[in-house]
């Protein structure tokens, strides 16, 4: 009888968990996939997920987190839109003894304010993209235009840094223009149109480096509208590995992407469940893989396998 009740209570524990998730918004295909994968992972584990979409605004995220604290949730997931400005609200969660897990972006705040962070190594993603370009252009002169992610977000800061590091030793490669496209297709296209105008109708541009695939897809459209061929007249390298970049690659219009898994919630819930069960603190940084894909890696097949996965 005793063992049965122990079993019941531990089963009940996972099923009784309520977790608040403050999501940034739906700026990219990758973000949409992360949202659906998080919902699926919660359902699979019997976790009740309270979802709040912040529509890209930090103030909405702070409000949502305060709401989750007031409701007494068991844990909070947050994908922080920008790096700064989190100390107060994370301190409130800590005072309420509610563990916080960061998903996919980092914060500039003391590490004791969150249980763990599940994210990629974003500097490395930039390096992988940069190394690919160094290899691709060899000794040819190459003017690069850069589409940055959301200003003040860790992926924008770090992906820029890693890429610059990788091309750093090469005198033939330089970033001639760099502007934010806010991680969206529409802005990526609009900013790329400006770059094309400023650089001799695009003829002076050798490559586009976009901090995510959605901006690259927007840029590809702008390049085509200008009468140039993306993938050959202008090289296109970006990050995420969403289905649409693989179909662009299959069509010869994109050259490389660095994959980012949308399943940040799986490792986050694993860490949380272990922590709530034994009080075992997880690693502070759980780092996901950053794998390069090029047209040699069966882009059509990658498109097929991914398109169902919540994108
Ligand atoms: O690469 C981009 C998105 O925070 C790492 O946010 C994430 C980035 C992702 O919208 O597509």
Q: Probe ligand 1: pick from 106, 240, 242, max atoms within 8 Å of CB?
A: 240
What per-residue confidence (pLDDT) applies to 309?
A: 80
In the block, which residue shows the tokens 């524990």? 13
End-to-end CA distance of the chain, in Å?
46
What per-residue confidence (pLDDT) applies to 35?
A: 98
User: d(Cα 268, Cα 41) in Å, to the nearest integer?
Assistant: 10
Strands (DSSP E) contained in the chain are: 18-23, 48-53, 75-78, 100-103, 116-120, 142-148, 173-180, 207-210, 235-240, 256-259, 285-288, 291-293
Alpha-carbon dihedral angle through residues 222, 226, 227, 230, given to the nearest 10 degrees: -40
Q: Pick the atom of ligand 1 nearest to 260's CA.
A: 1
Q: Probe ligand 1: pick from 29, 30, 261, 263, max atoms within 8 Å of CB?
A: 30
What per-residue confidence (pLDDT) applies to 8?
A: 41
Tokens standing for residue 89: 């609200």
User: d(Cα 65, Cα 88) in Å, to the nearest integer?
Assistant: 11
Among 96, 50, 56, which residue's Cα sits nearest to residue 80? 56
What digits encode the pLDDT tens for the residues 21-46?
A: 999 999 999 999 999 999 999 999 99
What digits encode the pLDDT tens for the residues 194-231?
A: 999 999 999 999 999 999 999 999 999 999 999 999 99
What per-residue confidence (pLDDT) applies to 260?
A: 98
Residue with CA nearest ligand 1 atom 8: 155
User: d(Cα 309, Cα 34) in Å, to the nearest integer?
Assistant: 10
What per-residue confidence (pLDDT) applies to 6?
A: 44
Which residues contact ligand 1 via a Cβ below 6 A? 27-28, 30-31, 104-105, 155, 183, 212, 239-240, 260
Residue with CA nearest ligand 1 atom 7: 104
Intervals of the chain under pLDDT 70: 1-15
């Amino acid at each position: 009888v005793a063992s049965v009740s122990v079993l019941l209570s531990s089963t009940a524990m996972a099923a009784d968990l309520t977790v608040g998730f403050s999501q940034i918004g739906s700026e990219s295909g990758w973000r949409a996939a992360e949202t659906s994968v998080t919902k699926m992972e919660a359902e699979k584990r019997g976790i009740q997920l309270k979802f709040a979409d912040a529509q890209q605004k930090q103030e909405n995220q702070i409000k949502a987190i305060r709401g989750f604290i007031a409701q007494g949730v068991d844990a909070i997931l947050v994908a922080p839109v920008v790096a700064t400005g989190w100390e107060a609200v994370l301190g409130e969660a800590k005072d309420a003894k509610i563990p916080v897990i960061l998903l996919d972006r980092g914060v500039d705040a003391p590490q004791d304010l969150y249980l763990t962070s599940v994210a990629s190594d974003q500097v490395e993603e930039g390096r992988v993209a940069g190394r690919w370009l160094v290899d691709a252009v060899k000794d040819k002169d190459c003017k690069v235009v850069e589409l940055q992610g959301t200003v003040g977000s860790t992926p924008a800061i770090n992906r820029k840094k890693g890429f610059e590091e990788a091309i750093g030793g090469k005198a033939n490669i330089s970033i001639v223009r760099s502007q934010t496209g806010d991680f969206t297709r529409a802005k990526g296209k609009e900013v790329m149109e400006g770059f094309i105008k400023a650089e001799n109708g695009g003829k002076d541009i050798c490559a586009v480096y976009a901090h995510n695939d959605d901006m690259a897809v927007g840029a590809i459209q702008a390049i085509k509208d200008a009468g140039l061929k993306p993938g050959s007249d202008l090289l296109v390298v970006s990050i995420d590995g969403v289905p649409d970049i693989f179909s662009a690659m299959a069509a010869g219009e994109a050259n490389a992407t660095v994959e980012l898994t949308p399943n940040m919630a799986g490792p986050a819930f694993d860490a949380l469940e272990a922590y709530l069960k034994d009080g075992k603190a997880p690693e502070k940084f759980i780092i996901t893989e950053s794998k390069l894909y090029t047209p040699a890696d069966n882009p059509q097949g990658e498109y097929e396998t991914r398109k169902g996965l919540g994108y």
